[in-house]
Amino acid sequence: MIKTIIVEDDPMVREINEKFLKKIDGFTLYDSVNSIEKAKDVILNGKPDLILLDVFFPQGKGIDLLKWIRVKNIKCDAILITADRNTETVEEAFRYGAVDYLVKPFMFSRFKEALIQFKSRKSSFENVYSMEQEIIDKYTIKEKKHVIEYDENIGDIKGFNQYTYEKVVVGISDMKDNSFTSEQIAKNIGVSRITARRYLDYLEKVKKLVVEMEYGKVGRPKNKYRIK
């Protein structure tokens, strides 16, 4: 089992991360703390394999904990889970050894992907003394996926909400190259079909999606969307 600790000062987010972690086989929650100082004690005493780490804390930043881990030469990996999209923060996180970076809000599927990728890599390294290039490439070169860049100011448009918009975009990214309907996105992210349709039509209007008509044997044709 991969011993994991969660370092997050928001109790609601911490609880969500704990519930998500319990759904994934091969991981066990060793401890869940709300500050960097508490995390240091847990890391020294518990020697976890993985940290799910936020960036913003009242008494410091999660990146500082990552730096401390490297200075102490502690064998522990970290996945950043944060609302911080600042380019310098992302670069610094990877510079100090973060294995992944999840931007809030995110879907469970993305959380699961990060942990499964980590578990797969870790298991591949066990009891192996020499690595072939093709094995290394498997964990360093990822398949390119279609993504939609966020519009940062969509909340300024009447009838639109930035948080809902970001949920829709994450839901679309989960569809990868497959076409999808507004009903599918609505179900996946927990909004009404009408709400999902409004945001999808907006994305089609700004040329980030294309819409196709799917004709069935009976009834009206369905709008199916896909990433342009």
Residue 103 has pLDDT above 60, yes or no: yes
Enumerate domains of the chain plus CATH numbers.
Answer: 2-139 (3.40.50.2300), 154-227 (1.10.10.10)
Q: Are 71 and 28 in contact (CB under 8 A)?
A: no
What's the pLDDT tens digit per position in 50-61?
Answer: 999 999 999 889
Report the DSSP beta bridge partners of residue 53.
Answer: 7, 80
96-110 average pLDDT score: 90
8-26 average pLDDT score: 93
Q: What is the pTM of this model?
A: 0.62
Please write down the long-range contacts of 105-113, taking CB distance under 8 Å and 24 or more positions apart. 105/163, 105/166, 105/167, 105/170, 106/81, 106/170, 107/167, 107/170, 107/171, 107/174, 107/188, 107/189, 108/20, 108/23, 109/174, 110/170, 110/173, 110/174, 111/17, 111/20, 111/81, 112/20, 112/23, 112/24
**Mean pLDDT lowest for which of 17-31, 38-52, 99-113?**
99-113
- Could you tell me which residues come within 8 angstroms of residue 188 by beta carbon, excluding any fewer than 6 positions away? 107, 171, 174
Q: Are 192 and 186 in contact (CB under 8 A)?
A: yes
Greater pLDDT, 214 or 122: 122
Q: Which residues of 165-202 are buried (b: 16+ CB within 10 A; e: fewer)?
A: bbbbbbbbbbbeeebbbbebbbebbebeeebbbbbbeb
